[in-house]
Structure 1
Amino acid sequence: MATAVREALGKAQRSAVHLEMRDIYTPDDPDFADWRAGVRFDPAERWQGWFDLVVATVSRGVRMRRARVVSEPVSEYIKFEYAVTERHNVAAGEEVRWLPRRRAADLALPGADCWLIDEEIVIFNHFDGNGNWDPATGMEARSDPATARMVGPAFESVWQRAVPHSTYRPGGDV
C-alpha cells in the first residue's frame, strides 16, 4: 500500500471510500500466483499491515467503503479478489460492494481508480494497460474541491447500485 493512502487513512476523521474499476491488478502479484496454484492462505496474515490499518481507522469511527465495478463474467483476478474479500476487507471493517459493469454504463465515473478521504482528498491510482502499478508514478493526490465534488457523487452512484459483498455472486468457481 502506498504511503499517500496510509497517511491519508491515518488522518481520516469521517470517511474513506475506494472506487476500483479494473478487471486485473498487478498480474505478477505473488499472492495472486499462489491463489491460482491452489494455495489457500489467510489474507489477514499475509496483509497484516493493511488489515491493522483498516481496523485502526474503523475503530476511530471512520466509515470505510470499497466499491468494485467489474466485468461479467468476472476475470480470474476478480475471482481472486472475491475469494479473499470476506477474510480480508470485510473482516477488518470495510464495507464492500460489487457493481457489474453493464449496470454502470450510464454513470459518470473518474478515469482512474481512486480514494476519497473525508470528502476532501482524492488519491488517484494509475495503472498501465496490463494492470501494473509503478509506486513512483502510479499515485496522484489532489486536494482541490472540484475534484472531490466530482469523485464523491460518482462513488455514491456506484454504491447505490452495487450489490453488497454478502449477497454478490460473481459466477464461476470462486
Structure 2
Amino acid sequence: MFLAGDEWAAKFQSFKREAWRLETLPQYLMPQEADEIQAFRSGVRIDPHTVSNEYTDRLRGQVADGRVQGRVHVVSRPLSEYLLFEFSQYYAPHALAGEQIRILDVTDRPNPLEGVQDFWMFDRAEVVLMNYEPDGRQVNREVFEGDPAPFIEYQRIAIAESVPFEEYVKGLDL
C-alpha cells in the first residue's frame, strides 16, 4: 500500500510514542523546496529561534504530549549543498522545536547501515519505506508488510553510531 496526502499526514497525528526516520541520501529533490534552496544559494539565512510553522508547531505539540519524533541522517564529507541547506533551514529550527536529530558521519569509516534505504517507523510497529530515485527525487511512500524487527535494529545502530545534530554542526558555517 502506498501513502500520500491525508493518509500520510495522519501517521504523524496517530502515533502514540515515537515517529522515527532514517535518511541516507546527500540530497532530496522536493519541488516545494526550490524557492528556499535558491534563496539559500543567494545567502538568505533564517534565525532558527524564530521559526514557527505547521511543522514546528506540530513538533512542539508532540513534545508537550510526551511523544517523540527523531531521525538520523547518514552523511559523508564534504557535505552537499543540499545538506548545508537542510541543516540550516530545517534541522536547526526542528531541533529547537523538539525533534531529536542525530548525524551519522561515515566519511572516515565503514557505513554500518550500507544498503539500508530511507524509512519512517511509527511506534516501532509500522514501517513506511521512502522510495527515491538515485538523485533524491521521491518515487513514493510504501507501507512495509513484514516484520519491523530489522528496522528496530537499524534504528538502534543508527542512534548508537551517531551524534546529536547540535554537536555535529558546531563550527560549521550554516
TM-score by length of 2: 0.82
Q: What do you get for the CA RMSD once the two structures are aligned?
A: 2.7
State the SS of the aligned residue for 2:103: strand
User: Partner of 2:82 in structure 1?
Assistant: 77
TM-score by length of 1: 0.82
Is 2:59 aligned against 1:54? yes
User: Partner of 1:142 in structure 2?
Assistant: 144
Q: Which amino acid in the other structure matches residue 21 of structure 2?
A: H
C-alpha offsets along residues 11-60 of structure 1, whole Å, 9 cap, x if unaligned?
Answer: 11111111111000116522122111112235688771222222222222
Aligned length: 169
User: Partner of 1:20 in structure 2?
Assistant: 23
User: Partner of 1:161 in structure 2?
Assistant: 161
Stretch of structure 1 that moved more, 120-129 or 34-43: 34-43
Unpaired runs of 5+ in structure 2? none
Note closer, same or farther for the CA distance 1:107–1:2 as it changes in structure 2 (3 Å cut). farther
Distance, in Å, in 1 between the alignment partners of 2:115 and 2:7 is: 19
C-alpha offsets along residues 88-136 of structure 1, whole Å, 9 cap, x if unaligned?
Answer: 21122101111112467352456321111000111111111221124xx
Cα offset for 1:87?
A: 4.0
1:25, 1:77 within 8 Å by CA — same for their partners in 2? yes
Runs ≥4 residues deviating over 4 A: 42-47
Distance, in Å, in 1 between the alignment partners of 2:7 and 2:47 is: 26
Of 124, 129, 132, 1:127 maps to 132
Note closer, same or farther for the CA distance 1:37–1:159 as it changes in structure 2 (3 Å cut). same
Cα offset for 1:165?
A: 1.3
Unpaired runs of 5+ in structure 1? none
C-alpha offsets along residues 152-174 of structure 1, whole Å, 9 cap, x if unaligned?
Answer: 11011011111111211387642
Percent identity (aligned): 24
C-alpha offsets along residues 131-156 of structure 1, whole Å, 9 cap, x if unaligned?
Answer: 1124xxx1112253x1x111111011
